[in-house]
Amino acid sequence: MGGFTDLFIKRPVLASVISLVILMLGLRSILTLNVREYPETYSSVITISTPYFGADAELVRGFITTPLEQAIATAEGIDYLESTSVQGTSTIRARLLLNYDPNAAVAQIITKINQVRNRLPPGSEDPIVTVTPGEPTAAMYIAFYSEVLERNQVTDYLNRAVRPRLETLIGVQEAPVLGGQTVAMRVWLDPKRMAAFRVTSTDVRAALEANNFIAAVGSTKGPMLSISLDAATNLHSVEEFERLVVREDNGALIRLRDVADVSLGAESYNTSVYFDGVPGVFIAVEAAPTANTLDVAASVREVFPDIQRQLPAGIRGVIVYDSTDFIRDSMREVLVSLAEALTIVTGVIYLFLGSARAALVPAVAMPLSLVGSLFLILVMGFTLNLLTLLALILAIGMVVDDGIVIVENVHRHMEEGKSRFEATLESGRELAAPIVAMNIVVVAVYAPIGFMTGLTGNLFTEFAFTVVGATLISGVVGLTLSFMLCSKLLRRETGKRGLSRRVDAGFGWVAERYGRLLHATLEQRGLVLLFGGVVLVACFFLYTAAEDELAPTEDQGFLIVQATADPNVSIDYLERWTGRVGEIIQGFDATDHSFVINGVAPGGGGVGSAYQAFAGMSMKDWDAREQSQFDIMPELQDRVNGVAGLQSAVFPPPALPGAGGGTPLQWVIGTTEETEALSDAVQRLLDRARQSGKFDFIETDLHYDRLQVQVEIDRGKAADLGIDMQQLGGDLSSLLSEGYVNYFSVRDRSYRVIPQVERVHRLRPEQLENYYLRARNGTLIPASTIVHLTQTVQPRELVRFNQLNAATLSGVPAPGVTLGEAVDFLRTAAAEILPGEYVTDWKGQSRQYVQESAELVTAFFLSVILIYLVLGAQFESFRDPAIMLVSVPMSLAGALLFMALGVVTVNIYTQVGLLTLIGSIIRHGILLVEFANEVQRREGLDRRRAMETAAAIRLRPILMTTIATLVGMIPLWFASGPGAESRFAIGFVLGAGMAIGTLFTLFVVPAYYTVIASERVGSGERG
């Protein structure tokens, strides 16, 4: 290896050219790299919604949900399947495996649906298949409101002009309208007028079907001309519908206006939206699962000024929520931290070396290595994201290590009387092998991460290979440019003065006392060996004592309020209480905007029930508010708990992608038993959880509190009157179900025609008995003649998980309780309460935690084994790698101590920090062992004297590298603003581990060396 460095020391132009090529490739890569929040990771949700207007939940589950579930479950790429059956709608959600192609999954699912389509009831609609990213909120919410136009008019304009423009943008999956009222022709039937004119709902439906007919009549074709024909068989306006003849009675024409009020209304009145307390309509911009959210938001913001200018008079539009605000600010903060770390480390190097010339070598190598690594990021197909930028910050400590070691060693040889050129040649021959070894070790540390699967593997593969790339580039720069610069820039100072003299005096004082202390320590090496063993064992107990979670909760400047009312309430009731929630949110000084969406569940892709709602609290910029998200969340939870008509949970968006919607904790309990038995077991578990005090909020979706009126039919009397069940069901469906008959068109758009009894005539179940049916002889009879009503209680919704009857416990851990602690509590409680045949599973963030929490532990042990094997091959010894690895538990114990004390938790960031710590600390062990071996061979000393000599020589670069790494972590320790929690976690672990680990390494590694290492004399060895 020595000849390799000689080449570049003797050929400075070659060394310079190599570095300039690295610089140019890196700078060019900056302009080409794609920028996003995280490495490309997508977790898609395919939603299959099937309307069956008027059908109760049991009917929906039995005839629609079950056959569709059975078919869809056989499709590939599904992680889990969940379904909800409520009155009038079946909703099935298939969450795909991480990074599974959503287009391929959609194609399979549609094929499966088509195979069972003929098994669905005739009155049901075709299943609607949609794809969403499965996040709790859309990428953006845009509010439109007007004080002069009706909501259905605003909705119609958005569907015609705004939505198509947004959905044509690259990366936009869809832009659904929330809280809008899609235009429909509403035929409000009056039972009393219908009875007076002897008209039934079947008559009205038949008239609409027969006389609002869309005819495609073709064209005439003569010898010379072909003329298209258009038959005006359909209706277009309220007036035309009003004049529609329903039936003839003794020569008198009964028109639709005689038995109904016809108006241009809305398909449904079960949803609404409020923006800062003002009624409005939202457009949710849903990014495609594979799209870059930053690009999508940028595209929307680019076209939005044009959209605003083109809005009709009286309509205003504003972007209420943009999820990329947090992403952009986080990226900016990480870049600032990177710049600060480079600046601080450069300054510290100058202070340590006491010479601007000496400091210039690592000061040039650091940015060159980091910029050069960008080219490798590009070549490997990675992106510039929060994790790759964080990797560059952490790589500073490893990158600066090479430069410091090289400069210090050249400086030492010059102090011994060698010329600058000779000192550089000698240092290159001494350091080439250790530098290569240290860089190979970094590859060994991160290789297991790079080949992991799952979310952790997807997120941290780019992180791992970025650190590896920066370190390898640093090695190339060190072996080529750094040695060359030393041969040109360093000089021997005959009469040191000023800073240089004080620095040397300081290190001399430290080295002299360290030498005496090391000598005394080695006199008691038995105790030191015992101490090392105790520390190794303590690492296990410290790790298990620490609290764990998947990732630290970040202050994203946004909180979600998930609200549920009594299932029997109307939208008016819901609006009353969610309006109070909106007022509470507006009462916080930190609030920038608030919104409430009624009739929609968070993360439901626009699907929900009239008793569900969610609200959003969008906060001011981080530097414009005094309270953090963590201060506001418990206070907001306390306040919304005071809203009597709602059960509300307050929680932030997930810290990592792909968690899905809903609260942080979602535990699913499944069984083949009926829901009554499941409800009893879940209620006992829920009571135990509430009594524990570990949850700010915990609730289940299985409640038997939805009132249902059973229409009991006297089939014998109905048969006597000539009324069959199809006629009876059809009449009631037309009166109550809000199902549509057909379409009418206005300005090139088609809208539904919906007959239904006006709300005032369906306020109470008893009013059903006042509806009239036609007997066989043509007379009208009250429905009360053949039906009577009984009231029952049903579940709010019928839920299945992987085709099992299921209930979900949804919770928010109390302040100070980690997700891991909450998960462990529920597991323990379930083992005591749930019957053995019940199965459990997880959704949302808790599913990520359960699946990913142990992944990095496996990677850790693989890294240690791989490092040992690589070092063994490098040094042709099984003993030396074991000695070098002694430094690992020393540093891990330092980090784990603070984790056990609760300063930080065990999470994927701190676990990656522990892995990074291995790569950083073991470099000290490599330098100590390699130099001690060299001293044995060169000077013929025994193991103890050789290690004492090597430790004295390597003390200064070890201390310089450690302190440089520590000061490089300062921007992470004092991080604030978006993304600060994860940066602090990984920075603190690395800093604490390096500080304590270096202190222990300097004494424990030498002790183990004197016992384990081989005796080397000349070029040979003896055991």
* pLDDT tens digits, 35-77: 888 888 888 899 999 998 878 888 999 999 999 999 999 999 9
The 3 state secondary structure assigned to 400-427 is HHHHHHHHHHHHHHHHCCCCHHHHHHHH
178 has a pLDDT exceeding 50: yes
Two structure tokens written together for 798: 């019928």
Nearest to 197 by CA among 258, 239, 120, 264: 258
SS3 content of the chain, % helix, strand, coil (to 5): 55, 20, 25
Angstrom CA distances, 344 to 393, 547, 840, stand at: 12, 33, 51
Q: Quick one: tokens of 917?
A: 């710590």
Instruction: Give me the count of residues in the chain.
Output: 1023
What pLDDT score was predicted for residue 1022?
A: 43
> Can you spell out the DSSP letters for 491-524?
---SS--HHHHHHHHHHHHHHHHHHHHHHHHHHT
What pLDDT score was predicted for residue 46?
93
- What pLDDT does 605 receive? 46
Structure tokens at 855: 């992944």
Q: Tokens in use for 516? A: 């005496």
CA distance linking residue 536 with residue 545, whole number of Å? 15
C-alpha to C-alpha distances, 415 to 349, 354, 408, 491, 504, nearest whole angstrom: 19, 15, 10, 10, 12
User: How far is CA 56 from each of CA 62, 293, 734, rounded to the nearest angstrom?
Assistant: 10, 39, 15
Sequence-ordered list of residues with C-beta below 8 angstroms from that of 632, at least 6 positions apart, any chain:
559, 588, 590, 617, 619
Question: According to the model, what pLDDT value does residue 534 have?
Answer: 93
3-state secondary structure of 215: coil
Q: How far apart are CA 402 and CA 408, in angstroms?
A: 10
- Section 1014-1022 average pLDDT: 56
Structure tokens of 20? 């300039």
Give the pLDDT mean for 749-777.
78
Q: Which of 10-24, 279-293, 672-686, 773-787 has the lowest mean pLDDT?
A: 773-787
Lowest mean pLDDT among 244-253, 257-266, 658-667, 1011-1020: 1011-1020
Give the 3-state DSSP-derived string for 937-969, with helices as H, strands as E and coil as C: HHHCCCHHHHHHHHHHHHHHHHHHHHHHHHHHC
How far is C-alpha 30 from the geometric centre of its chain's CA atoms? 26
Q: Which residue has the tokens 């090289």?
A: 406
Which candidate, 537, 377, 383, places its Cα nearest to that of 465? 377
Supply the pLDDT for residue 38.
Answer: 86
- Rounded Cα gap, residues 909 and 110, in angstroms: 40
- pLDDT grade for 331, boundaries at 50, 70 and 90: confident
Selection from 760, 756, 763 nearest residue 732 by Cα: 756
The token duo for 630 is 């963590």
How far is residue 195's CA from residue 881's CA, in Å, rounded to a whole number? 95
pLDDT reading at 81 higher than 90: yes
Short-list 462, 467, 443, CA closest to 452: 462
Decide if 271 contacts 571 (C-beta within 8 A): yes
Q: Which spans in 291-419 are helix H?
A: 293-310, 324-353, 356-379, 386-415
The Cα–Cα gap between 784 and 987 comes to 75
Burial, 822: exposed, middle or buried (Cβ in 10 Å; 0-12, 13-18, 19+)? buried
Mind listing the pLDDT tens digit for each residue in 10-39?
899 999 999 999 999 999 998 888 888 888
* Contact by Cβ (8 Å): 470, 368: no
Domains, in order of start, for the chain: 2-38+327-491+498-548+853-1022 (1.20.1640.10), 44-132 (3.30.70.1430), 557-652 (3.30.70.1430)
Instruction: Write the CB contacts of 630 (distance below 8 Å, at least 6 apart in sequence).
Output: 553, 555, 815
pLDDT at 376: 92
End-to-end CA distance of the chain: 26
- CA nearest neighbour of 22 among 491, 404, 416, 371: 371
Q: Give the pLDDT confidence score for residue 74 in this predicted structure.
A: 93
